[in-house]
């Protein structure tokens, strides 16, 4: 029963992370397209107005919306040459502890970004060239941090399932 609930939660979270990653990829594609059009227009003496604001917005959005998926698939870089040499129980323990540190850090980043977003909204900050409200920059960042939290928690739970039960601790 608990395992089915976990699998259902994992499936829902996975679909959400994939959807965000696709939006992030689309956003990075728009950043590339804007840059491409700007380069082509320069041959004809023109340019895309506010290209820096636009590219920064789309790159930030792409990166931060893709973050939850990367956490969900446990796709971040780690030193596998060392981890692969450890016993399974010790490897799982290190992965759980590392995940807990990342989770704590992500919660801190989400809280700090939330505070920053509120300040930006209160001051009604915007970009210099196109006057894009900074909310559009901070919003995806907060979404990426906040939505990474359940993805990281699920990865930790996956690693915890690989930990030995107390009577199997001889593997350590």
For every residue of 116-155, DSSP letters joined together read HHHHHHHHT-B-TTT--BTHHHHHHHHHHHHHHHHHHHHH
**CA–CA separation, 4 vs 126, rounded Å?**
46
pLDDT of residue 11: 85
pLDDT of residue 86: 86
pLDDT of residue 75: 81
Q: What average pLDDT does this structure show over 17-31?
A: 96
Q: What average pLDDT does this structure show over 2-8?
A: 78
pLDDT at residue 21 tops 90: yes
Q: 97-115: per-residue pLDDT in tens?
A: 999 999 999 999 999 999 9
Average pLDDT of every residue of the chain:
89
Dihedral Cα 72, 74, 76, 78, nearest 10 deg: 160
pLDDT of residue 171: 47
Q: 33-81: per-residue pLDDT in tens?
A: 999 999 999 999 999 999 999 999 999 999 999 999 999 988 877 777 8
- Residue 167's pLDDT band, with cuts at 50, 70 and 90, is low
- Residue 85's pLDDT band, with cuts at 50, 70 and 90, is confident
């Amino acid at each position: 029963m608990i395992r089915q609930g976990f699998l259902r939660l994992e499936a829902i979270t996975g679909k959400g992370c994939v959807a965000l990653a696709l939006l992030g990829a689309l956003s990075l594609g728009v950043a590339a397209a804007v840059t491409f059009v700007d380069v082509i227009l320069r041959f004809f003496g023109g340019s895309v107005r506010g290209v820096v604001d636009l590219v920064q917005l789309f790159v930030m959005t792409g990166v931060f919306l893709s973050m939850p998926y990367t956490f969900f698939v446990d796709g971040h870089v780690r030193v596998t040459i060392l981890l692969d040499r450890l016993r399974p129980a010790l490897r799982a323990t290190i992965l759980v502890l590392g995940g807990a540190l990342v989770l704590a850090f992500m919660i801190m980043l989400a809280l700090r970004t939330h505070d920053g977003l509120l300040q930006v909204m209160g001051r009604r900050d915007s970009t210099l060239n196109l006057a894009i409200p900074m909310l559009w920059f901070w919003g995806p960042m907060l979404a990426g941090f906040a939505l990474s939290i359940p993805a990281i928690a699920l990865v930790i739970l996956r690693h915890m399932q690989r930990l030995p039960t107390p009577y199997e601790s001889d593997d350590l």
